[in-house]
Amino acid sequence: MAAAPSKQAYVPFVSVAHMMQLVHHIGVERFMADLAAEIEEDFRRWPLFDKTPRVASHSQVGVIELMPTSDGETYGFKYVNGHPSNMSRGLQTVTAFGLLADVATGYPLLLSEMTILTALRTASTSAMAAKWLAPKGAKTMALIGNGAQAEFQALAFKTICGIGEVRLYDIDPAATAKCARNLSGRGIEVICCTSASEAILGAQIITTVTADKQFATILTDNMVGAGVHINAVGGDCPGKTELHHDILMRSAIFVEYPPQTRIEGEIQQLAGDHPVTELWEVIAGRVPGRASAREVTLFDSVGFAIEDFSALRYVARALKDTGLCEQLDMIADPDDPRDLFGMVMRAG
Amino acid sequence: MAAAPSKQAYVPFVSVAHMMQLVHHIGVERFMADLAAEIEEDFRRWPLFDKTPRVASHSQVGVIELMPTSDGETYGFKYVNGHPSNMSRGLQTVTAFGLLADVATGYPLLLSEMTILTALRTASTSAMAAKWLAPKGAKTMALIGNGAQAEFQALAFKTICGIGEVRLYDIDPAATAKCARNLSGRGIEVICCTSASEAILGAQIITTVTADKQFATILTDNMVGAGVHINAVGGDCPGKTELHHDILMRSAIFVEYPPQTRIEGEIQQLAGDHPVTELWEVIAGRVPGRASAREVTLFDSVGFAIEDFSALRYVARALKDTGLCEQLDMIADPDDPRDLFGMVMRAG
């Protein structure tokens, strides 16, 4: 038999079960607050990162994407799919996993489930952006679309932005009931609504997080009053939008990475040179965020690789001394690196 | 506690140890012959595949790449690094892993180590190409560069092309000695040489598989006689070539995917419109391969995503009923796909 591989040949792997345990170990709200801080730090040093629009493989029923980035020391990527039709088969619309690697050697450092982690980082990113863009003192959020992402959004906005009331609406009342049930007893007032118009009553923040792959109009122009912040999460691939064009025309639009958002976000409805502001520039203090109390701000969020990178790095750090990972024998490690063949043969 | 995840939530994982056992279970030569047939089949249906140059993240010491492709039913990608300086740290220059997924759902089907598998598929691809391009009746191969890929090349050419003699040369005699030792008793005559010029004596096929990231000249023009087939494996990224420009000018050049090879292959030394032939067109019977017994043919191989796809699919099939994999809990699988949050909370 071959000698046991060296320590470097093993890659720590965070399974779904371990990720859930890690969330409970830290607490779901604190997890999202910590993660928002981690993402914010990386937005501050945004120019440092390698950036590329995600690498997408489209089919008639969905998309599979790779989202790589690097800060020069650490490399990360996420594998993620988007298959709206999965729900009717009892499968997740979005599943994901990701990896961190050492730029100096190319060796993997961490492999992790990211279905749960993506849900957490998406909500953390939304709430972090709202902290910079929403009107001061916002207390009420409309939450339109009550699927897999909804509770994470509600709790992230509670913890990070101080939201005290969420007004739920979904075309399927069962989704709203599920969301309300999950949020009960968590220190946030939950109002179940029967229309989008009812949900937005009195809301300073409107979050749209629906899942249909079609040009939808979850919000029409007359529904959006002065001073509102819109957190548009569900429009995140070509052909999938949630907001009426006229809302976009009178909003100050903030995005993650324009080359990607122009393909995937709400602004795919606009001319390619329509002015947008990169969120990182607001956070880094280079440009102002919200200009006035009456301005409509829009975070046209599609999810960017750097947020996943931040999330994986946070998990790698949070894991320490918890034992919440396995060691995968994923890297071939011959004693003599030129003797890969000999290693294979000696294993016989 | 939450219910156990469904079967679909588990992803079969082939570790390094399991891959080595699979190679022994099948036999290394038969593995490479089967794999060459699998790759050849995919070259025949080449136009079907999504093709893109690999997605590279370069640093001063190396590169990390993602290589995705899809045939419309199955999606695959490989993560691979290239760090020539790793060898001096006792690490592999190239490590890799890969994944297959179902295009219809986006759910992963297989995760596998690919350091060993890449070595096998690279040699299988080289020998499969030589079967189409090398002069008839070739019996002797020069093998210049005796590192981690060398033995795989020698045995693939023995099994797939009927090579009876390999003539080894490396700037480090210890590498040649290691290679000769590993090949002894395997039914192929091994000649250790002390120069590249000596290695090519009488060889109908010349394989170059050196690892330096620099414009090297492993072969000069006067070394290459009429009718030889050159299998250039080591020139595979920008700035890394092995052949003198003049050899390229008088060779019939065959490549995998021109947009990638023009960046990474030997032909990065040539004008962007220098004529090359895509190997798949030869295999599909669309264009002739070798034109005459005196022609110099060159397979300017850089490795393409479709070869990795073929290799992963072959492994997925070969695995059946062997038990040579683990089941990774990698995909979150709530009973109600919209109730991801509830699943996480119930795990507490």
Q: Which residue of A has its CA nearest to B348?
A: A24
> What is the reported pLDDT for B76?
98
The mean pLDDT of B41-52, rounded to a whole number, is 96
Is there a contact between B347 and A115 if contact means CB atoms under 8 Å apart?
no
If phi > 0 it is left, if psi is from -120 to 50 it is alpha, else beta; for residue B340 that is alpha
The number of angstroms, rounded, from the C-alpha of B31 to the middle of its chain's C-alpha atoms is 14
Q: Which residue of B has its CA nearest to A182?
A: B342
Is there a contact between A81 and B101 if contact means CB atoms under 8 Å apart?
yes
B150 to chain A: which residues are within 8 Å by CB? 341
Spatial CA neighbour of B342 closest among A323, A326, A177: A177
Q: Which range has highest mean pLDDT (A107-121, B51-65, B237-251)?
A: A107-121
Reduced 3-state DSSP string for chain B: CCCCCCHHHEEEEECHHHHHHHHHHHCHHHHHHHHHHHHHHHHHCHHHCECCCCEEEECCCCEEEEEEEECCCEEEEEEEEECHHHHHHCCCCCCEEEEEEECCCCCEEEEEECHHHHHHHHHHHHHHHHHHHCCCCCCEEEEECCCCCHHHHHHHHHHHHCCCEEEEECCCHHHHHHHHHHHCCCCCEEEECCCHHHHCCCCCEEEECCCCCCEEEEECHHHCCCCCEEEECCCCECCEEEECHHHHHCEEEEECCHHHHHHHCHHHHCCCCCCCEEHHHHHCCCCCCCCCCCCEEEEECCCCHHHHHHHHHHHHHHHCCCCCCEEEECCCCCCCCCCHHHHHHHCC
Residues 6+ apart with CB under 8 A from A323: none
Q: For the segment B184-196, what is each residue's pLDDT rounded down to a tens digit?
A: 999 999 999 999 9
- pLDDT-derived band of residue B213, with 50, 70 and 90 as boundaries? low
B332 to chain A: which residues are within 8 Å by CB? 16, 92, 95, 113, 115-116
Q: For the segment A303-334, what is each residue's pLDDT rounded down to a tens digit?
A: 999 999 999 999 999 999 999 999 999 999 88
Q: What mean pLDDT is reported for chain A? A: 94
Is there a contact between A64 and B52 if contact means CB atoms under 8 Å apart?
no
> What is the reported pLDDT for A9?
79
Residue B306 has pLDDT above 80, yes or no: yes
- pLDDT-derived band of residue B212, with 50, 70 and 90 as boundaries? low
Is there a contact between A119 and B2 if contact means CB atoms under 8 Å apart?
no
A116 to chain B: which residues are within 8 Å by CB? 332, 340, 344
| Chosen from B338, B339, B345, B346 to mutate, greatest number of chain A CBs within 10 A | B338
- pLDDT-derived band of residue A279, with 50, 70 and 90 as boundaries? very high
> What is the reported pLDDT for A106?
96
| Chosen from A105, A170, A184 to mutate, greatest number of chain B CBs within 10 A | A105
> What is the reported pLDDT for B20?
97
The mean pLDDT of A10-39, rounded to a whole number, is 97
Residue A118 has pLDDT above 70, yes or no: yes
Helix runs in chain A, H state only: 16-26, 28-44, 115-133, 150-161, 173-183, 196-199, 245-249, 258-264, 279-283, 305-319, 340-346
Residues 6+ apart with CB under 8 A from B171: none
Structure tokens at A136: 């001061």
Asked if A11 and A108 touch (Cβ cutoff 8 Å), the reply is yes
- pLDDT-derived band of residue B5, with 50, 70 and 90 as boundaries? low
Give the integer Cα–Cα distance in Å for A140 and A165: 5
Residue B46 has pLDDT above 80, yes or no: yes
Nearest Cβ partner of A57 from B13, B63, B68? B68
Overall pTM surpassing 0.80 (yes/no): yes
Residue A2 has pLDDT above 50, yes or no: no
Is there a contact between A79 and B89 if contact means CB atoms under 8 Å apart?
no
Q: Rounded to 5 degrees, what angle do the CA atoms A45, A47, A50 make?
A: 110
DSSP letter string over B46-62? GGGSB----EEEE-SS-
Spatial CA neighbour of B96 closest among B155, B31, B16: B16
Asked if A124 and A153 touch (Cβ cutoff 8 Å), the reply is no
Is there a contact between A337 and B182 if contact means CB atoms under 8 Å apart?
no
The mean pLDDT of B55-71, rounded to a whole number, is 94
Is there a contact between A105 and B89 if contact means CB atoms under 8 Å apart?
yes
> What is the reported pLDDT for A238?
76
Residue A215 has pLDDT above 80, yes or no: no
B17 to chain A: which residues are within 8 Å by CB? 329, 347
Higher model confidence: residue B93 or residue A312? A312
Is there a contact between A103 and B343 if contact means CB atoms under 8 Å apart?
no
Phi, psi of A44 (to 5 degrees): -60, -35
Q: Which domains does chain B have, with CATH numbers?
A: 7-116+306-346 (3.30.1780.10), 132-304 (3.40.50.720)
Is there a contact between A97 and B108 if contact means CB atoms under 8 Å apart?
yes
Percent of chain B whose predicted confidence (pLDDT) is above 90: 83
Residue A192's DSSP bridge partners are: A168
The number of angstroms, rounded, from the C-alpha of B16 to the middle of its chain's C-alpha atoms is 17
The mean pLDDT of B276-293, rounded to a whole number, is 97
Residue A8 has pLDDT above 80, yes or no: no
> What is the reported pLDDT for B2?
46
Phi, psi of B189 (to 5 degrees): -75, 135
Q: What mean pLDDT is reported for chain B? A: 93
Is there a contact between A55 and B68 if contact means CB atoms under 8 Å apart?
yes
ipTM: 0.93
Residue A216 has pLDDT above 80, yes or no: no
> What is the reported pLDDT for A75?
98
Residue A194 has pLDDT above 80, yes or no: yes
Asked if B21 and B323 touch (Cβ cutoff 8 Å), the reply is no
Nearest Cβ partner of A61 from B79, B104, B116? B104
- Give the lowest-confidence range in A93-102, A301-310, B332-341: B332-341
The number of angstroms, rounded, from the C-alpha of B157 to the middle of its chain's C-alpha atoms is 14
> What is the reported pLDDT for B1?
41
DSSP A6: P
- pLDDT-derived band of residue A1, with 50, 70 and 90 as boundaries? very low
User: Which positions of B are annotated as active-site residues?
Assistant: 236
Residues 6+ apart with CB under 8 A from B37: none
The mean pLDDT of A65-80, rounded to a whole number, is 97
| Chosen from A85, A340, A346 to mutate, greatest number of chain B CBs within 10 A | A340
Residue B345 has pLDDT above 90, yes or no: yes
A83 to chain B: which residues are within 8 Å by CB? 104-106
B109 to chain A: which residues are within 8 Å by CB? none
Percent of chain A whose predicted confidence (pLDDT) is above 70: 97
Structure tokens at B327: 């089941």
Q: For the segment B130-178, what is each residue's pLDDT rounded down to a tens digit?
A: 999 999 999 999 999 999 999 999 999 999 999 999 999 999 999 999 9
Nearest Cβ partner of B75 from A57, A146, A348? A57
User: Which positions of A are annotated as active-site residues?
Assistant: 236
Structure tokens at A121: 């980082």
Shortest distance between the Cα of A246 and any Cα of chain B, in A, equals: 30
Q: For the segment B223-247, what is each residue's pLDDT rounded down to a tens digit?
A: 899 999 999 998 767 787 889 999 9
Give the A:B interface size as CB pairs under 8 Å: 251
Residue B284 has pLDDT above 50, yes or no: yes
Is there a contact between A63 and B8 if contact means CB atoms under 8 Å apart?
no
Q: Which residue of A has its CA nearest to B184?
A: A342
Shortest distance between the Cα of A69 and any Cα of chain B, in A, equals: 8
> What is the reported pLDDT for A7?
73
A108 to chain B: which residues are within 8 Å by CB? 79, 95, 97
A332 to chain B: which residues are within 8 Å by CB? 16, 92, 95, 113, 115-116
Residue A142 has pLDDT above 60, yes or no: yes
CB atoms within 10 A of CB B169: 25
Give the integer Cα–Cα distance in Å for A278 and B249: 49
A151 to chain B: which residues are within 8 Å by CB? 341-342
Shortest distance between the Cα of A292 and any Cα of chain B, in A, equals: 35
> What is the reported pLDDT for B3?
52
Q: For the segment A167-193, what is each residue's pLDDT rounded down to a tens digit?
A: 999 999 999 999 999 999 999 999 999
Is there a contact between B148 and A338 if contact means CB atoms under 8 Å apart?
yes
